[in-house]
Structure 1
Amino acid sequence: MRRPRAAAGVLLAVLLVLTGCSTQGQDATDVVSDQQARAYQREVSEKERLAKAEADLPSRPSGVVDVDGSTRGSLTTDEANRYEATGTSTAVNVANNGEDQAFQELCAGRVDLVDSARPISRAEWDACRSVGLDVVQFQIAAEAIVVAIKSETDVGGDCLTMDQVRDIYRAGSPVVNWGQVGLDDVPLRVGGPNQDNNAFGFFGRYVLDAPQPSLTNLRSDYSSFENDEGARRFVVGSKHDARVASRFVDMARRRSQAQQALTGARDELASANEELAAARAERAKGIRDKRSRADQAKDIARVDAAVERRRAARARVDRLHDRYRVWVDRVKRTEDARKLVATYRGHVAYFRFSYYELFEDQLRPFEITRPDGQRNCIFPSQSTITSGEYPLSRQLLITTTTRSLGRREVSDFLKHYLARAQDAAVAARLVPLPDQTVLVQRAWLTGDSSPLLVTPDDQADSPGSPTASEKPAR
């Protein structure tokens, strides 16, 4: 009789547990629903706040596009002038107040476009988002510098880190041998453009961290040149020296041939002298022996022939000696040229990528590692430069907001700008965008696809950082 009671007790306990679990599950569901409701309400409130903040921004004047930023090395001013010359009624005002102020103005709704060589920073992006502005970034072109030595020479490696490039060029640098940066024992000399070249300012700001680059930021033995050609000759030497040096083997062969010919001529002269001495001795003997007149005539003819032979041999020796001296001098010049060309082995300079492309058969570029501790050795190419992968590159950017993109004036100007971007980049000796990049960005303006919004992830906090990641507009 006790067993049924025990079983009933167990059943009651199970029912109580199940009932409690059911009640707890219902309470948990209610808690989740409350949390979701509160989160939704916060999202709605935040959207309302952002919408109000955006509505409170100053209105943009009709028929006007305001651009601010840095016009140094930019294409924007020229393209604004070309756009206005098309007969448009839109006025494009381009200011040059610097990138920092321009991004502040953009996020305050006072300008439409920022002309910059760096992406918007995280702090600047936060400022835009705090007033409800979504950020869109267009790339117009790219620029890069290439650090190069002479083609077909070797200093023990093809890859340098950003720190190594900086150490080689910076003021007070102790580096006078490639071995000091982990390469071969080769004397090092550095050169590059002077302050009038765009590459000088780019290199000073992005490599030497000098806001206003000058020669004082570079090592005291830095060889500066008025143009890229001078820097290239510093690295590869002159065409004349190279051409003369290239003749060394041929000149040495001809000198050897001339020397052999001269040796043969001298042997012939020695033989002619011996014959003349013998002929004269024979003639004297014939006189003593009172040979017949006919025999003495033969002795005299032999002497005359020996004299003529010696005269011809001596003349040939003199002629071949002069020729040999000519080849000796020519070999000396080619040897000197070869020594001079050899001294260029350790010379290094930097160039704009567009100039390097013209002489890539003469220049050997270094691959560069990004300043993140990884030795990834990125080669300079149109692809790695326009994408921002190559560390010594910068992207020419136009940053705007979806609010400004909604204005006909802004989208029309950007359509014009992108349509001419590649040709303008080539004319300005910049790196043009790939066709596909241009097509993708133009589609944002024509409405064929939604523009990509810059996100807070991987934002740049300093010049030279890669472009911020992006996501499609909602």
Structure 2
Amino acid sequence: MTVRHRARAVVPLLALSVLAAGCSQEPGQDATDLVADAQARDYRDGQAEAQRVRQANRALPSPSAGVVEIDGINGALTSEEVAAFSRSGTSTQVQVASRGEDAAFASLCAGEIDVVDSTRAIAPAELEACRSVGLDVVQLQVASDAVVVAIKNETDVGGDCLSTQQVREVYRAGSPVTSWAQLGGGYDDVPLAVAGPNRENNAFQFFGRTVLDAPDPSLINLRSDYRTFDTDQGSRLFVVGRERDEDLALKLRDRARERDLAKSRVEEQRQVVDDARAEVEVAVAEVEKGVRDQRPADQQAADRERVVRAEQALARAQAELSVLTREKDAVVTRYDAAADARARVQRTRGHVGYFLFSYYELFEDQLRPFEVTDPDGERNCIFPSQRTITSGEYPLSRRLLLTTTTRSMERSEVADFLLHYLDRASEAAVDAQLVALSQAEIERQKDWVSGREAPDLVTADETPATEEPAAPTRPAEPAR
């Protein structure tokens, strides 16, 4: 139930509670009077709370003129955008701290800073702290980021949707998963091998925090057989194999025929050599027999000529066998290369890696991403796309946020800085290999900052479920 809905529900709830307690009402006092009294008390309490909030708001520290205070994580875009704003010729000083999101939101709600740089939204308790001192919270999004878990395109391991818990189970330190079938859900019994970037890569840090719940990710958070690569290309080739292997594997059938034909020719030529060698032996025997038998001279000459011809034929046959053997060896080598390539291609079927979404987009013809669902609630299997990542629907995504207050946005120096940031956000996101927002969304947020349109305030509905106090109502008119 939203705050507005709860506010409208106050009167009937009060009436029911009063009627239920009707036996304790004073003599001569009906239920309508009790409701009116309760509403009057509620209104007085609301007025007192409003007065307390106004006093707390007036007690907030005054901001320094010409200074914009930012705190949080000092994310992927902020340092460069602060530097670019300073280079624009502005006299405004932008002071950036990086004490973390928790401390930054506390400072925002204490009126000490203007902007929180974060990858998470304000929490319910933090939002209530801001509201308790009269600060309305506005959240701006400047980019998004996501990791994609992918196998080779046009391959299949028996499923295309993983829960975040399954992704964690595949990669975590000590994981026993060596076959896709161990994940359940109908996955095939295919050997599973994992890879990804080293810790210098932004994807490594993001994946470690988002999937493995590691505040400062390192290799000890990953399984011992995790293959690390210095480049995204290395991870991609581990998953999809090399194009040359694909080409060679496609030639395997033709090369098998070439190999069999070459082997057949060698075997046939070996028979020719054996026959030629046998003829030499017969011819030599005839010469010897002619000598023993004292054949005529011309007959013995003919016998010797036969030996010469037989030896020449044997030499030619042996030379041809050598040529055919070399050709066969070359063909067998080419066949073996194609067979090895096919084996490597087949092994990639179970290989899986993770990549920043911006890198996946460049090679989406080679990579097949898994849909991802949260382990709790409905199995919704969200496909990674510009839309689902920007909206935050895709579970392995994060939004780069600037959270401020209407109080800070009314300051010209803060508004100027935020407008400058938003103007450059799309181009900066692309340069940083992040997911850029649509121009329409950028313009909408600029309208908030410039005052051309009332901003969407962060409400309890945009944070995890929490109970909110009901809004005060005016007392009913007394019964006449």
Query: For the Cα contact (< 8 Å) 1:140–1:418, is it kept in 2?
Result: yes
- Residue of structure 1 equivalent to 2:375: 371
Is it true that 1:444 corresponds to 2:448 in the alignment? Answer: yes
The answer to whether 1:192 aligns with 2:196 is: yes
Match of 2:219 among 200, 215, 219: 215
Pair 281,227 (structure 1): closer, same or farther in 2 beyond 3 Å:
closer
Distance 2:225 2:281 in 1: 69
Counterpart pick for 1:55 among 48, 53, 58: 58
Query: Counterpart of 1:7?
Result: none
Aligned to 1:175: 177
Q: Which residue of 1 aligns with 2:149?
A: 147
Secondary structure in 1 matching 2:460: coil
- Write out aligned runs for 1:219-298 (5 A): 219-263=223-267, 265-266=269-270
Q: 1:158 & 1:40 partners in 2: Cα distance?
A: 56
Is 1:86 aligned to residue 106 of structure 2?
no
- The one-letter amino acid paired with 2:82 is A
Contact 2:151 2:240 in 1 (8 A): yes
CA distance in 1, matches of 2:375, 2:404: 29
1 CA distance for matches of 2:175 and 2:289?
Answer: 87
Classify the secondary structure of the residue corresponding to 1:317: helix
Q: Which moved more, 1:215-224 or 1:302-311?
A: 302-311
The corresponding residue for 1:23 is none
Name the residue aligned to 1:70: 73
1:81-115 superposed Cα distances (whole Å, 9 cap, x missing partner): 10011100111111101100100111111111000
Q: Distance in 1 between matches of 2:261 and 2:140?
A: 68
- Please point out which of 397, 410, 414 is paired with 1:410: 414
Q: Which moved more, 1:365-374 or 1:279-288?
A: 279-288
Partner residue of 1:138? 140
2:76 touches 2:432 (CA, 8 Å); kept in 1? no
Letter in 1 for 2:336: K
Q: Aligned partners of 1:181 and 1:434: how far apart in 2? A: 37
Q: Name the amino acid aligned to 1:365.
A: P
Q: What is the CA–CA distance in structure 2 between the aligned matches of 1:235 and 1:98, rounded to whole Å?
A: 35
1:162 equivalent among 161, 164, 168: 164
Instruction: Give the paired residue count.
Output: 434
Contact 1:119 1:460 in 2 (8 A): no
| 2:102 paired residue number | 100
SS in 2 for 1:97: coil
* Cα deviation digits, residues 205-229 of structure 1 (max 9, x gap): 2111222222222223322333323
Partner of 2:115: 113
Say whether 1:339 aligns with 2:362.
Answer: no
Deviation at 1:259, TM superposition (A): 3.1
Instruction: Using the TM superposition, name which of 53-62 and 120-129 deviates more.
Output: 53-62
Match of 1:394 among 392, 398, 421: 398
Offset, 1:442: 1.6
Task: Give 5+ residue unaligned stretches, structure 1.
Answer: 1-26, 462-474
CA contact (8 A) 1:137 1:398 kept: yes
Q: Aligned in 2, Cα 1:196/1:296: closer, same or farther, shift over 3 Å? A: same
1:208 alignment partner, SS class:
coil
Superposition TM-score, scaled by structure 1 size: 0.80
**How many angstroms apart in 1 are the aligned matches of 2:308 and 2:441?**
92
Cα drift, residue 380 of structure 1: 1.1
2:326 is the alignment partner of 1:322: yes
Answer yes or no: is the 8 Å Cα contact 2:120–2:401 preserved in 1.
yes
Question: Deviation of residue 349 (structure 1)?
Answer: 2.0
Separation of aligned partners in 1, 2:411 and 2:303? 118
Cα offset, 1:231, TM superposition = 2.4
Counterpart CA distance in 2 for 1:246 and 1:373 is: 45
Q: Percent identity?
A: 55
CA-to-partner distance for each residue in 1:31-57, whole Å, 9 max, x for gaps? 777776666665555444433332221
In structure 2, give the amino acid aligned to 1:388: G
**For 1:432, what is the secondary structure of its paired residue?**
coil
Q: Structure 1, residues 234-264: CA drift from partner, whole Å, max 9, x if none?
A: 3234455444444323322322332344455
Contact kept in structure 2, 1:112 and 1:404, CA below 8 Å = yes
Contact 1:68–1:115, Cα closer than 8 Å, also in 2: yes
| SS, match of residue 403 in structure 1 | helix
Gaps of 5+ in 2: 1-29, 466-480
List per-residue Cα deviations over 1:144-165 (Å, max 9, x = no partner).
1111222333221111111111
- Give the structure-2-normalised TM-score: 0.80
> What do residues 252-299 of structure 1 show as CA deviations (whole Å, max 9, x unaligned)?
2322332344455456657767888999999999999x99x8x99999
Matched residue of 1:153: which SS? coil
SS of residue paired to 2:382: coil
Q: Distance in 2 between matches of 1:220 and 1:281?
A: 73
**Structure-2 residue corresponding to 1:14:** none
